Amino acid sequence: MAIALGTAAPDFSLKDQSQKDVKLSDFRGKKNVVIVFYPLDWSPVCTNEHACFVNDLKRFDQLDAQVLGLSVDSVWSHKAFAEKMGIIYPLLADFQPRGAVAEKFGVYLADKGITGRAIAVIDRQGKLAWFKNYDIPAVPDLKEVSEALARIQ
């Protein structure tokens, strides 16, 4: 069950590709947050999705938003993937317990053991401002994500 728009996003702390703890609450009062839930590092669609974010990162910076990638992959997989793709934003390892954070947002696919493809926009107050699920084989439209961010500025 996905969380409702306007409600507080569940806080979490996960390690990124540099073994740094990243907490959602660290951004409260400072930045909007775009959480990119994706199935797996290295898959073709996920690779294309992150290439889009890498190429458009300046637009998200201008909208005062922190991009966070999140999947069930390990820190080590994220590290290799980030280095290969030139990803400088945190990739969070929802690895152990597998999918626990994605489950809080209603996007963990337990039958497949992966995170579904979705994007959540959390405003500076820590509330869910925008959310969309995508089909696994679809690359999300970043224009609609940046438009959602622009509306909450």
Give dist(CA 41, CA 71) in Å, integer.
8
Assessment of whether the complete model's pTM goes beyond 0.75: yes
Which pLDDT belongs to residue 153? Answer: 67
Per-residue pLDDT for 47 more than 90?
A: no
Q: What is the mean pLDDT of the chain?
A: 94
Q: Express each pLDDT in 6-35 by its tens digit.
A: 999 999 999 999 999 999 999 999 999 999
Which pLDDT belongs to residue 81? Answer: 96
Q: Catalytic residue at 52?
A: no
Per-residue pLDDT for 46 more than 90?
A: no
Q: Which of 14, 22, 36, 46 is catalytic?
A: 46
Q: Express each pLDDT in 122-134 by its tens digit.
A: 999 999 999 999 9
Q: Express each pLDDT in 75-100 by its tens digit.
A: 999 999 999 999 999 999 999 999 99
Question: Long-range contacts made by residues 106-109, C-beta under 8 angstroms, separation at least 24?
Answer: 106/1, 106/2, 106/3, 107/2, 107/37, 107/133, 108/72, 109/39
Query: Which residues are CB-neighbours of 108 under 8 A, at least 6 positions away?
Result: 72, 94, 99, 100, 102, 114, 115, 116
Q: Which domains does the chain have, with CATH numbers?
A: 13-151 (3.40.30.10)
For residue 97, is the peptide bond before it cis, meaning its omega torsion is within 30 degrees of 0? yes
